[in-house]
Amino acid sequence: MHSIDYNRLKERISDHKDWFIQRLKKYVEAESPTEDIMQNRKLLHSIAEDFEELDYRVEWKESVLSAGQIIFRPENSDLKKDQLLIGHADTVWPVGTLEKMPWNIEGNVIQGPGVYDMKAGIVMMQLGIKMMKELDLQPKLRPVVMITSDEETGSRDSWDEIEKMAKSVERVFVPEPSIGLEGKIKTERKGSGRYQIRVIGKEAHSGVEPEKGVSAIVEMAHIIKKVDQLNDYDNGISLNTGLISGGKAVNIVAGECIVEIDLRYMDRTDGEAIDDKIKSIGPELNGTEIIIEGGLARPPVTKNERNKKLWKLAQDSADKLGLAIEEGLSGGGSDGSITSQFTATIDGMGAVGEGAHSPKEKILVDETLDRAALLTAMLLADDVG
């Protein structure tokens, strides 16, 4: 086992640029929308083969609800404690997106569906493990990898397995995209909730006997106002009524109306309080019925003491590599939102770029390779306790 030469580590990773690009191209061109289980399984099999080349054994977690999950562990390791790298292979992009949004590399920029969120992160994991192997560098904790296939739709199928893994490891690194072109690492994430509110009213002809109807749309207007009043941006609480539908025709008093609401919050107590308020909303109009479904989804990632230690480790590792890093808050959730409830977690350790879920999705190659060096240095660092 050799001592760590951080300059050499950074240089060797940079020397693998072509390897990184070709591996990433293979994954991006394997389109993998969450709901297409067969497409996702094809990509997971390709990822599994590539980890096997790194002397990692594969454990499949099969499912009929998603493409499942795969867990990779080193074939030969005497280490007793584990650290986890977790990421997802699924994207928001439907099959056929490549025709309109093809893989494209121009200078230091790569574009393509899923390149930023988060197929580059999967390649970064492999590159870090490859570098430790080639440079004969021994981590203090055994690097275990988990790849899921349903993160983009809330990790409902993989949630229990993620919890199980989080409880068994000392720390978790999440190579989800960093924040923006500045590449801020995510030391906080907002929690989230999703709700569907359905109002049942009473239909009537709006010209002949409107007084016999009770409008579900009017009732829903009262509800939307109540929901909007729960916003508290100063304390990181936001609610958005993003989808609404109702009524059959303009001359019929609406017998039904449905809205869908997105909740984001910073503090678990605040999230629970808003959840209670939403679920306790009652009718203003006699003759209407309110049906509320949904609830809190991913919990927030907070700056607790164990997560602060990982951020300090990131800063120390960046200093050794001659890199400057910043931290930031993300309004979205990830599988790190789950692991952070049970063990030290640092998120946004992946690609530097922008445009997740947008046609402008891209990464900056050199900056992303520097982050691969940072991820590798942190995998090699002592247990922070």
pLDDT tens digit sequence for 72-83: 999 988 899 999
**CATH assignment of 6-190+300-380, among 3.40.50.920, 3.40.1260.10, 2.60.40.1190, 3.40.630.10:** 3.40.630.10
Residue 68 DSSP code: -
- DSSP state letter for 118: I
The pLDDT tens digits of the residues spanning 35-94 come to: 999 999 999 999 999 999 999 999 999 999 999 999 999 998 889 999 999 999 999 999
What percentage of the chain exceeds 70 in pLDDT? 99
Mean pLDDT, rounded, for 188-217: 97
Question: Does residue 2 surpass a pLDDT of 80?
Answer: no
Q: Among 54, 231, 73, which residue's Cα sits nearest to residue 126?
A: 54
Q: Where are the domains positioned within the chain?
A: 6-190+300-380, 191-296
CATH topology of domain 191-296: Alpha-Beta Plaits (3.30.70)
Q: Helices marked H in the chain — which ranges? A: 6-15, 17-28, 37-52, 97-100, 120-134, 159-167, 216-228, 268-279, 305-321, 335-339, 365-380
- Tell me the residue length of the chain: 385
Mean pLDDT, the chain, rounded, equals 97
Alpha-carbon distance of 129 to 43, in angstroms, equals 20
Distance (Å, rounded) from C-alpha 159 to C-alpha 149? 11
Using alpha carbons, select from 241, 203, 236 the residue that is nearest to residue 222. 241
Q: Helix or strand or coil: residue 237? A: strand
Predicted confidence at residue 382, as pLDDT, reads 87
Token pair, residue 167, equals 């409880």
**Structure token pair of residue 179:** 């924040």
Q: What is the pLDDT of residue 132?
A: 97
* Cα–Cα distances in angstroms (integers) from residue 309 to residues 187, 320, 381, in the given order: 11, 17, 12
Report how far residue 231's alpha carbon sits from residue 363's, in angstroms, rounded to the nearest whole number.
34
**Does residue 155 come out as left (phi exceeding 0), alpha (psi in the -120 to 50 range) or beta?**
left
Decide: 173 and 85 in contact? Cβ < 8 Å. yes
Q: Pairing mode, if any, of strands 238-246 and 362-364? A: unpaired
Q: pTM of the prediction?
A: 0.92
